[in-house]
Amino acid sequence: MTLMTRALLALGLARKGDQDSFQFTDGRSRGAQPGVAGVAVTDASAMGLDAVWACVNLISGTISSLPLQVFRRDATGHKTPAKGHPLYAILHDSPNYEQTAVDWLDALGIWMELRGNSYSRIERAADGRVIALIPAPAPSVAVKRRPGGDIEYAWSQDGERYRLGERDVLHIRGPGGDPLGGLSTLAVARNSLSAVQAAEVAAASTFKNSLNPSTVIKFKEWLTPAQRALAEDRLTQRYMGAVNAGRPFIAEGGVDISALSLSPEDAQMLETRQFSVEVICRFFGVPPALIGHAGASTAWPTSVEQQMIMFLTFTLRRRLRRIEAAMNKQLLTPSDRASGYHIEFNIEGLLRGDSSARSAFYSSALGAGWMTINEVRTRENLPRVDGGDTPRMQIQNVPITQAGNGDADL
């Protein structure tokens, strides 16, 4: 039994024997499982929560905005973009006929965050070259291990059924450490997300029914069936719903009104909903400030800049490494890797939105001599200049006796 199966069994997301047949690594082989709050968690219901939507879009959108390139490292360790490699245009520009690289990476990122796995069907030419990457819907993909040890994938898409081996499927796994797939955030966080969804439903119902069922209207005399039906119909039409909020209630004929329970504010419904945002942020590893939630005092740094650094270091970097490692292993041939080719995100794209940080970075690199002028200009999409390939370094802290000797041999 693999580590993934043991983990899923412990979480109640899988059954013994699932290794021998196709299974969904997030527990869907057991059917829809409602959380402790009694509300089932699905892709659509989870993404309907604003905090989940914001976290998933922040992570997947940031990843898809980074240039994904094929590089080649020479014997000296210097790497350059390998634009002549067949994979370069596929990963950098367009992986298939219908999508740009941004669209494709964004979809893969969303399934990684929700389902813990992303899949793409690999189309190859007759000589084995990768010519296209077609995304497969992660909720529909089932996985099993063949008797010989290979992994097989099965799913249906656009009226077609696929049963493919590892060679023909790009599988990017999330946390979990198992070859069959990563752990699904929706499955692991089912109870928490179910509770958050229940709170959202309760809040919506409160605003929908402005005349709360916790309000009692007392009549001194018993009502006839006709009077009771008339009272209920008239009250529903005139006082229930947000559009009737604030309408004065006219009490006559000995009618008395009293409340049975506390208001939503007294019941701390708003505080509960705010806390749920922080719960979701913890599951996705996103600082609340980055999705527009100021919140109260938490363990996150108070500076937005520090939160951004934490996001890049502890949340984004591990995801980028997973994607790069999977692509290097599954898309490049052994001869490609032996020749120095590798697939890598250009994280310098993250600095494009901060001109001050980018300027400081380049100034340090040029002053210390570990980047050349043309390397900087290439990153900024500027034309190369003559003499710009020579590293330069500032000369300072010379002896005071030689301060005026510009041509002195130092």
User: Cβ distance 35 to 195 under 8 Å?
Assistant: yes
pLDDT of residue 297 exceeding 60, the answer is no
What is the arithmetic mean of pLDDT over 261-283?
69
In the chain, what are the helix, strand and coil shares in percent, each to the nearest 5?
Answer: 45, 15, 40
Question: What pLDDT, on the 0 to 100 scale, is given for residue 346?
Answer: 85
Question: What pLDDT, on the 0 to 100 scale, is given for residue 410?
Answer: 46
Q: Of 185, 201, 205, 206, whose CA–CA distance to 52 is shortest?
A: 185
Angle between the N-to-C axes of helices 317-330 and 50-65, in degrees from 0 to 180, rounded to the nearest 10:
50
Pairwise pLDDT comparison (38 vs 57), residue with the higher score: 57
Beta strand residue intervals within 86-239, DSSP E: 117-124, 130-136, 142-145, 151-157, 160-165, 169-173, 215-218
Question: What pLDDT, on the 0 to 100 scale, is given for residue 239?
Answer: 57
Predicted TM-score (pTM) of this structure = 0.72
76: amino acid identity, one letter: T
Question: What pLDDT, on the 0 to 100 scale, is given for residue 23?
Answer: 59
Question: What pLDDT, on the 0 to 100 scale, is given for residue 26?
Answer: 53
Pairwise pLDDT comparison (13 vs 141), residue with the higher score: 141
With a pLDDT cut of 70, the percent of the chain lying above it is 70
* CB-based contacts of 30, cutoff 8 Å, min separation 6: 13, 14, 15
pLDDT of residue 5 exceeding 60, the answer is no
Rounded CA separation 325/345 (Å): 11
Pairwise pLDDT comparison (23 vs 278), residue with the higher score: 278
What is the arithmetic mean of pLDDT over 115-122?
96
Rounded CA separation 316/323 (Å): 11
With a pLDDT cut of 90, the percent of the chain lying above it is 37
Neighbour count for residue 201 (Cβ, 10 Å) = 12
pLDDT tier for residue 284 given thresholds of 50, 70 and 90? very high
Pairwise pLDDT comparison (213 vs 170), residue with the higher score: 170
Instruction: Kindly report the average pLDDT of the chain as a whole number.
Output: 79
DSSP states of 380-396: TT----TTTTS------
Please write the tens of the pLDDT for every residue from 216-269. 677 767 777 877 777 777 766 665 555 555 556 666 666 666 655 545 554 555
Question: What pLDDT, on the 0 to 100 scale, is given for residue 17?
Answer: 41
Pairwise pLDDT comparison (180 vs 203), residue with the higher score: 180
- In this predicted structure, which of 52-61, 70-79, 146-155 has the lowest mean pLDDT? 70-79
Pairwise pLDDT comparison (269 vs 314), residue with the higher score: 314
pLDDT of residue 332 exceeding 90, the answer is yes
Question: What pLDDT, on the 0 to 100 scale, is given for residue 122?
Answer: 97
pLDDT of residue 104 exceeding 80, the answer is yes
Question: What pLDDT, on the 0 to 100 scale, is given for residue 354?
Answer: 61
How far, CA to CA in Å, does 91 sit from each of 4, 96, 323, 391? 30, 9, 12, 31
Question: What pLDDT, on the 0 to 100 scale, is given for residue 397?
Answer: 67
Q: 142-150 long-range CB contacts below 8 Å, 24 or more apart? A: 142/22, 142/23, 142/24, 143/22, 143/23, 143/24, 143/25, 143/180, 143/181, 144/19, 144/20, 144/21, 144/22, 144/23, 144/180, 145/19, 145/179, 145/180
What is the arithmetic mean of pLDDT over 341-355?
76
φ, ψ of residue 8 to 5 degrees: the values are -70, -35
What is the arithmetic mean of pLDDT over 90-117?
95
Q: Of 379, 409, 407, 375, whose CA–CA distance to 392 is shortest?
A: 375
pLDDT tier for residue 365 given thresholds of 50, 70 and 90? confident
Q: For the chain, what's the residue count? A: 410
